[in-house]
A and B are shown apart, each in its own frame.
Chain A
Amino acid sequence: MLAYIARRILSTIPVMLVVAFVVFSMLMLSPGDPAAVIAGDQATPEDVERIRAALGLDRPFLVQFVDFLWRLVNFDLGTSIFTNLPVTHMIAQRIEPTVSLMVLTILFSVAVAVPMGVVAAWKAGSWIDRAVMVFAVLGFSVPVFVIGYLLAYIFALELDWLPVQGYTPLSRGFWPFLENLILPTIALGSVYIALIARITRATMLEVLAQDYIRTAKAKGLGTRPILFLHALKNAAVPISTVVGIGIALLIGGAVVTESVFAIPGLGRLTVDAILRRDYPVIQGVVLLFSFVYVLVNLMIDLLYTVFDPRIRY
């Protein structure tokens, strides 16, 4: 068991190396002179040279990559071309809103989507089931910023129940903090809810057809304990896998949601960095998000043994 955990943790190292290599080499693979591309169309030759030196682009490729890895190991993501601040510093300043938004979205989505999927599977073929499936298709089709604007228009502009935009740190009180995040959470959660509800329904349909569910019914157990204790526990592995994989969707969606609701998080930082062509910042944010994504999925993998004691490594 311990050996498995150690092996599983070690197996993420090559994945992370590939991530680092891809993110690092993208600039080199792009056609043309990367320093000139970053400098933009209005740059003088001096600007281009300054950026080339700042990024170390004048050295051999492998030397650059080893240097890049060494800095990564030391938690150094380089320096912003625009502000001259360390990228780690800029990320630290912007991380709270993004983490808050994502954690709230994950909690909210799982709390809504799992019961939706369970009920849809239990009442398979009924109008509830059909409503859940229609919602799932719509959730996949309506992009996150469309839902964001729609919610902001209805609940903030027309009804005036919630603030239109902005962010309040948690240190200024829980309600002001939550008030600003309700609409972004629902907007960002829509795709995620659709995804989780769909997989919950599918796995529950399979589990509910098993013999032990019939046994549980035969011995007179109520519907709720059967659904939520016996069945859901056995559907937990595929559901948690999708919860983990779906975080990639959330990360992409967070960048847009923060733009729609003017939340000063990592998404805003990325968008500002794109407009300023501040490549080290973009690189840093992509690396950070990818590593978090790999780590979350590693933890979910290790959690399988909790949901299903039959899984022994």
Chain B
Amino acid sequence: MSPDTAVAAAAAQVEILAPERRRGRVRTFIRRHPAIAFGGCLLVLMALAAVFAPLLSSLDPQALAPARRVRHPSAEHWFGTDMLGRDVYTRVIYGTRVSLIVGFSVALLASLLGLAIGLVSGFIRILDGVIMRIMDGLMSIPPILLAIALMAATRGSVQNVIIAITIAEIPRVSRLVRSVVLSLREQPYVEAAIAAGTTTPRIIVRHILPNTLAPLTVQATYICASAMITEAILSFIGAGTPPIIPSWGNIMAEGRALWQVAPYIVFFPALFLSLTVLSVNLLGDGLRDALDPRLAKRI
């Protein structure tokens, strides 16, 4: 066999093996990280439902139809209709948008702001005491109550809901980042970098940030899950998303008066909310196990 044909044969073999190996890799990933695979798939489905809501239902989530009030689930109205004759299925699908937007925005904002505050607190020792006392105070107010009080002081809108929940979540993130920074500062390689005259911004970018990324990502998924629950709770008690926008909390709040005769109005948004939060939590648990095997063994 000439070298040329050997290469060609090897190339052909690679081509044949490639798809199979890829499939094998997917299977190995699912076997190794079932939580990430399951949670991720469920979350992608929810995100698709949110983006393509108008394609999944031809009805208007706000369309009133007094003649078709409180219809039980049927082929025509999969999840039934509410007290104003609106299609619950359509409203639940559109409600996915609010939940996902609030969950992701809060996770992103709280992580970034918490990261900034944690870095400042960990590096600028004069400010540390003051910042941490403020964070202690904020953490002493139960998060949902803090969000309720903030919402009561402003007008109800999705944007204000995001701000209120973010403020309630920031203290935990900044504490986490600060503790990572403080332990890293003691590491020999960071001390060596300081001794070698590396500037503080460069130390932060090169040595500190990469090490905060893993715990911060895990924390962000848990914040996303808890933000979705908090949004639903705020909307449910009338302090969240304004009633014009269909959100799962709003749909449940509206179904509350009727829930003994038409429990489906409450149960369908409840099911979607629980599944979405479950998928985010599973993703968080999976990421934690994958990113920090030491922690995974302990908890």
- Chain A residues with a Cβ under 8 A of chain B: 14-19, 21-23, 26-27, 29-32, 34, 37, 137-138, 140-143, 145-146, 149-150, 153, 157, 164, 198, 202, 205-206, 247-249, 251-253, 255-256, 259, 270-271, 273-275, 277, 279, 282-283, 285-286, 289-290, 293-294
CA distance A18 to B146 in the complex (A): 13
Which residue of chain A is the closest to B233 with respect to CB atoms? A256
Q: Is the CB of A251 within 8 A of B145?
A: yes
Contact between chains at A274 and B267 (CB < 8 Å) = no
Give how many B residues have a beta carbon under 8 Å from the other chain's beta carbons: 46
Q: Closest Cβ of chain B: how far from A8's Cβ, in Å?
A: 13
Q: Which of B211-240 contact A (CB under 8 A)?
A: 225, 229-230, 232-233, 236-239
> Which A residue sits closest to B234, measured CB to CB?
A274
Query: What chain B residues lie within 8 Å of A140 (beta carbons)?
Result: 225, 277, 281
Contacting pair B136 A15 (CB below 8 A): yes
Whole-angstrom distance between the Cβ of A265 and the nearest chain B Cβ: 13
Write out, one digit per residue, whether chain B residues 268-289 have a CB within 8 A of any chain A CB (1) or not (0).
0010011001100110010000
A140-B225, A286-B149 are known contacts. Are A23 and B141 too (CB-CB below 8 A)? yes
> B263 at the A/B interface (Cβ < 8 Å)?
yes
Which residues of A lie under 8 Å from residue B153 when comparing CB positions? 26-27, 29-30, 34, 37, 279
Residues of B within 8 A of A248 (CB): 142-143
Which residue of chain A has its CB nearest to the CB of B228?
A143
B266: Cβ under 8 A from any A Cβ: yes
Nearest chain B residue, comparing its CB with the CB of A191? B229
Q: Are A137 and B237 in contact (CB under 8 A)?
A: no
Say how far A280's CB is from chain B's closest CB, in angstroms. 10
Q: Which of chain A's residues have a CB closer than 8 A to the CB of B260? A: 157, 164
With contact pairs A274-B148, A274-B237 given, residues A143 and B277 touching in the complex (Cβ less than 8 Å):
yes
A273→B145 CA distance, assembly (Å): 13
Residues of chain B whose beta carbon lies under 8 Å from any beta carbon of chain A: 133-134, 136-138, 140-146, 148-155, 225, 229-230, 232-233, 236-239, 252, 256, 259-260, 263, 266-267, 270, 273-274, 277-278, 281-282, 285, 298-299
> Which of chain A's residues have a CB closer than 8 A to the CB of B278?
137-138, 141-142
> Among B145, B282, B285, which residue has its beta carbon within 8 angstroms of that of A285?
B145
User: Which chain A positions have C-beta within 8 A of B285?
Assistant: 137
Contacts of A142 in B (CB 8 A): 274, 277-278
B267 touches A149 (CB 8 A): yes
Bound together, the chains give a CA A253 to CA B236 distance in angstroms of: 12
Nearest CB of A to B229, in Å: 5
Distance from B77 Cβ to chain A, minimum over Cβ atoms (Å): 21
Assess whether A153 is in contact with B145, with CB atoms less than 8 Å apart: no
